[in-house]
Structure formats: structure tokens, C-alpha cells
Amino acid sequence: MKVIKFGGSSLASGKQLEKVLKIVTADPERKVVVVSAPGKRYAEDIKVTDLLIECAEYSLQNQDPKEKLESVLERYAAIAEELLLPDGVIREIHDDLVTRIASDKSKPDRFIDLLKASGEDNNAKLVAAYFQSRGVEAHYVDPKEAGLLVSDEPGNAQALPEAFERLYSLNKRSGILIFPGFFGYSESGEVFTFSRSGSDITGSILANALKADLYENFTDVDAVYSVNPSIVKSPKEIKELTYREMRELSYAGFTVLHDEALVPAFRAGIPVNIKNTNNPSAPGTLIVNQRDNTNGPVIGIASDKGFCSIYVSKYLMNREIGFGRKLLGVLEDYGLSYEHTPSGIDDVSVILRENQLDEKVMDAVINRIKNELHADEVKVAHSLALIMVVGEGMRQNVGTMARASKALANASVNIEMINQGSSEVSMMFGVKEVDEKRAVQALYEEFFVPVTV
């Protein structure tokens, strides 16, 4: 049995829904279909979820959300019209939205969650109606009745352990089950959404709970690329990668899959297949527990800007038990999460995302490090980029670092920092932001472009 999830762009129009129907019915194993809200039809289009957020905000500010509500309804109506669906389904969606807008606003976060969730919920009803209209046995599934219990954290709900047991009984139902993504219900019966891109999470939870053989995740790219296509033109596609590789890549800039979404599938060891709704015959990318190492040591290169480093030096720091713990404690007091802590004998640097701190917080942090830890010197470097070179194959490969650092040297990129040795499937380079593109290109050339002699 397969759980199959479609992203917003795969459900943006009647034409897209026709592809979805074809894909689902092409394989009798495709039993549970998780749907997002209708996404963009063209670059300037607005996603239904974004329209719903505006709708909620208007209502909370006591403005009339009627116009926004109309835009949402129009999106569903356009699809229904294109597919010649009976009127009933649009009337049902209209009534649902009116009820939601009229509901309790005393807890704004929860009200926003209730509105946002309607995007997926109503789309699931629409998709079920469409499948039925084509003579396919399909049923909308209400997550409440199915037992998708979640914690009561608005915008960041977590599935509760009981949810998995309850959802398992969906296996007994007949026909194709159309399940709305992105949200669940708390024990008191209220709607709470997952974090953004949460339909991936719903699919992953269902794959785990129903003990699926495969979780197919349909989006609008043929595969996960080995490197960002905006940096390297038409990069190599990745056929197969492990969870660990995916996680390391998704850390820095790879946004095909929301990395938290993988957790439930990962825990149950269920493979995930990233595929393209617009080109379903392409094999896509398979994410697995273990893979044969057929290609070179490196499977992908990811990079991200916007990091800074706080350098702290103190003579004989190395002898001072507790120094590192105290330093991290200062950061924690300001709610700052850090990425890495490369260290010398008498110095340590903390690398963190720059957007976490403004100048005021930075000054406060520096002052505390100077005064409480008696550091000799504290200095900050801005505008760093981190580059992850990822691959299970580098575990056994003696010369990978030599190749990578040689490629960077040849491209005149100064390596500000290297972090290698804890994860066996990645090495990280810190470079100046201005060097990021050149560095990634040089690494791609080294590991992916065959040498022509």
C-alpha cells in the first residue's frame, strides 16, 4: 500500500487534478491520497493558504473579509467549473468558510489555524467529489473522525502517540481515501496546524501509521538535484539518497522536502519517493534507509548564506573546565541556537544564523562573554556562507577532503572554517558570502563533472 501526497501546484487547477486522477488510478496500491490547498497556477498567483491568512487577519482586525473570502471561493469554483462538477460541493465549501469566520476569535492564533486548515480540508472534499464524478470510489476523510490527534500548539502541532494507533484502522476502509494535509485535532476537538509545508508531515504520519510500503511525494520537480540549479545550470539529478543525506542537504538550502516531515517515515523505515506530477513517468528521487554506493563519494552539495561567527579567545582556555558550557549558556539565555563551534587551543568560535540577533542582542552577548567569562578577545565576523558536501560514500573515502579543498584553492576561495568528523556523511566548509557561488561551482565541477582527458 502506498500513501501519496500532492503539493499545492499539483492541485492548482482542473487540468492539474486530471493528472492527479490519472496518477492515482494508474496504480491500485495508491490507496491514501494526502492533498494540499490549491497552490499557484502561475508565478504571480496567490496560494489559497495565503488568501486564508489574509482573510483571518481581516476578521481579527474587524474588517470585512468578504472580498478575500470570495477570492478563496473563486479558486475552488474555477476548478469545479473546469471539471464540470455538481454545484453541491462549492456550496458546502462556502458554508464551511462562513461558519469558520463566524467562530470564536478570543484566541487569535487558534482562529488563524482554523482558517488556514480549511484550505486543505475543503480541497480534500473537492478532490473526493471530482474522483467520484469520474466513477472512482473515493471518500473524503475527516482527520477528526479518523483520529489524527495533535498537541495544542498553533502553527506547530505535533502528532500524539495515540494518533498512530487510531489512524491504523483506515486500512480497513474501502476505496481511495482523500485525506486533507496540514492539520489535526487536539484532544478537546480544536483544529491545530503543523508548521508550514505541513502536508508533507501529514503524509509521513499516515505512511507510518498505516504501515505503508512507500510514501510518494508528488511535487513539481523531476527529482532532487545534486546542487541548487540557480548556482549550477541543469545539475545532475539524484536517483537515490539516504535519510541522513537528505537531512544534511535540507539543512542548508534544499527545500524540496520539509526536513521535519521525514521524521515519522524515517522512524518506520518507509522509503519516500519524490516525484513530478507533470512528468509522472520520471523515476524521481528515492529516499531510503540505506543505499548502494554506486556513484562517487559525494551525492549533493548544499549551501546557505546569512551566518555570522563570534570568536572568543582566552589564554589557557583549554585548561578551564566549564568554559564551553558557560559560553553556550550565555547564548541560551538569549534563545540563540548555534550551528557549530570550531575550536583552537585557546579560542573557540560559535557559528550562528545572523537573523537571530540584532545589534543590541549582539552587544549584550559580547559584553557578557567579556565580563563573565573574562575572555581576552571577542570579535564578530558577518556574512558567512556554509557549504555542506554530503554523501554516504565519503565515509570510506580517503581523498575526499583533499579533492574538495584543492577545488576550493584552485577557485581562490579561502576556507574560513572546516567542520568534519562527527557526521560521517558530510563535511562543512565556511566561506565568505561573496565566495559562496564560486565555491559551490568549483565543488560541483570536482565531484560531478567527468574529466575529459
Which stretches of the chain bind a copy of itself, using CB under 8 A? 247-248, 251, 259-260, 263, 266, 311, 315-316, 318-322, 324-325, 328-329, 332, 335-349, 388, 398-399, 401-402, 405-406, 408-409, 412-423, 425-428, 430
Q: How far is the CB of 91 from a copy of itself (least distance, A)?
A: 43
C-alpha cell at 208: 507510518
Q: Is 119 annotated as a binding residue?
A: no
Q: Is 120 annotated as a binding residue?
A: yes
Nearest to a copy of itself of 316, 434 (CB atom): 316
Give how far Cα 194 sits from Cα of 153, 222, 421, 426, Å. 9, 26, 34, 29
Strands 138-140 and 183-185: unpaired
Nearest to a copy of itself of 169, 318 (CB atom): 318
Long-range contacts of 74-82 (CB under 8 A, 24+ apart): 75/38, 75/48, 75/51, 76/38, 76/122, 76/123, 76/126, 78/13, 78/14, 79/13, 79/14, 79/17, 79/38, 79/126, 80/126, 81/14, 82/13, 82/14, 82/15
Q: Is 5 annotated as a binding residue?
A: yes
Q: Is 7 annotated as a binding residue?
A: yes
Nearest to a copy of itself of 364, 401 (CB atom): 401
Q: How far is the CB of 25 from a copy of itself (least distance, A)?
A: 35
Angle between helices 14-25 and 108-133 (to 10 degrees): 70
Nearest to a copy of itself of 25, 405 (CB atom): 405
Nearest to a copy of itself of 69, 261 (CB atom): 261
Q: Is 6 annotated as a binding residue?
A: yes
Q: How far is the CB of 84 from a copy of itself (least distance, A)?
A: 46
Q: How far is the CB of 336 from a copy of itself (least distance, A)?
A: 8
Q: How far is the CB of 437 from a copy of itself (least distance, A)?
A: 17
Closest listed residue to residue 209, CA positions, set 268, 152, 279, 249? 268
Nearest to a copy of itself of 110, 340 (CB atom): 340
Nearest to a copy of itself of 100, 244 (CB atom): 244
Q: How far is the CB of 248 from a copy of itself (least distance, A)?
A: 5
Nearest to a copy of itself of 73, 411 (CB atom): 411
How many Cβ atoms sit within 10 Å of the Cβ of residue 186?
17
Q: How far is the CB of 301 from a copy of itself (least distance, A)?
A: 15
Q: How far is the CB of 173 from a copy of itself (least distance, A)?
A: 31
Q: Is 49 annotated as a binding residue?
A: yes
Please tell me the distance from the alpha carbon of residue 109 to that of residue 186, in angstroms, as a whole number. 14
**Which residue numbers belong to the known binding site for substrate?**
49, 120
**Which residue numbers belong to the known binding site?**
5-8, 49, 120, 219-220, 225
**Which residue numbers belong to the known binding site for ATP?**
5-8, 219-220, 225
